[in-house]
Amino acid sequence: MKQEFTISLFSEDHIGILNQITIILTRRQINIESITASESAVKGVQLLTLVVKTTPEMVRKVAKQMEKLVEVLKVFVHSSDEIIYQEIALYKVKTNSLMSGNVIDNLVRTHHARILEVSPEYTVIEKTGHKTEITELLDLLLPYGVLQFVRSGRVAVTKQVKELNAYLREMDDANRFKPEETEIYKLIN
């Protein structure tokens, strides 16, 4: 059975990592539902958050293949109930349609959205939440004329306590040939 999984991949900041990741997914015919790339809490370590729909077996296999890549530090795979995640969306709506009554105002309030910018032509609304909530607000705004709509990829944190640093330290301990000074200790301590 296909399920939604969030893959959090920590890697060195190396050109071509994303290419290598997508090669692995393409070979297995897995589509990326959403993707976010940014620097992680550890300086110099990049975090890629990918949402994919596949079987638990397959996600385990591709995660191992990703972790095998030389520049990849650690890969975590989580089902949606194991993480706390958010997406962000921006809605550009015609301002004149907002003037008719306080419908929009109510929508913004009840959906915990906020207004970012108002100009004579348009108003930009921002909403953070799960995909379903974002889509729900979009459906409600559509009758009023949505000029533009964008949503981001997913950002997620895990419910587990163990942090990346602990994994990095473990990996480092496992290394038999200890260099005199490793960059990683400088980063962690």
Partner 1 sequence: MKTQNETKREDIQVNGLEQITGAEAILKCLIEEGVDTIFGYPGGAIMPVYDKLLDFTDKLKHILTRHEQGAAHAAQAYAMVSGKPGICFATSGPGATNLITGIANAYLDSVPVVFITAQVISGLIGTDAFQETDILGVSMPVTKWNCQVKKSQDIPDTIAKAFYIATTGRPGPVLIDITKDAQIEKLSFKYKKCNYLRSYNPHIPLHTRAIESAAIMINHAEKPLILAGHGILISGAENELREFAEKAGIPVAVTLLGLSCFPSGHRLYTGFLGMHGNYGPNLLTNEADLIIAIGMRFDDRVTGNLKKYAKKARIIHIEIDEAEINKNVQVDLEIHNDAKEVLQNLIPLVKQKSYESWIREFRICDKTEYDKVIKSETKPEAGDIRMGEVVRMVSELTNGDSIIVTDVGQNQMSAARYFKFTTPGSFVTSGGMGTMGFGLPASIGAKIGKPEKQVVAFIGDGGFQMTIQELGTILHYKVPVKIIILNNGFLGMVRQWQEMFFKKRYASTELVNPDFATIAKGFGIPAKKILKREELKDSLLEMLKSEGPYLLDIVIEKEGNVLPMVEPGASVSEVTLNYKS
Query: Can you give the binding site for partner 1, defined by CB under 8 A?
Result: 11-12, 15-16, 19-20, 23, 27, 60-61, 64-65, 67-68, 70-73, 168, 171-172, 174-179, 182-184
Q: What is the sign of the dihedral through the CA atoms of 74, 153, 3 and 131?
A: positive
Question: Exposed, middle or buried, 5 (CB in 10 Å: 0-12/13-18/19+)?
Answer: buried
Q: Provide, rounded to whole angstroms, the least separation between the CB of residue 77 and partner 1.
A: 14
Rounded to the nearest 10 degrees, the angle between the axes of helix 103-110 and helix 131-141 is: 180
> Which is closer to partner 1, CB of 64 or CB of 162?
64
Q: Provide, rounded to whole angstroms, the least separation between the CB of residue 178 and partner 1.
A: 8
Q: Provide, rounded to whole angstroms, the least separation between the CB of residue 185 and partner 1.
A: 10
The C-alpha angle with vertex 80 and arms to 87 and 141, in degrees rounded to 5, equals: 35
> Which is closer to partner 1, CB of 14 or CB of 114?
14
> Which is closer to partner 1, CB of 23 or CB of 157?
23
Helices (H) and strands (E) in the chain, counts: 7, 9
> Which is closer to partner 1, CB of 139 or CB of 170?
170
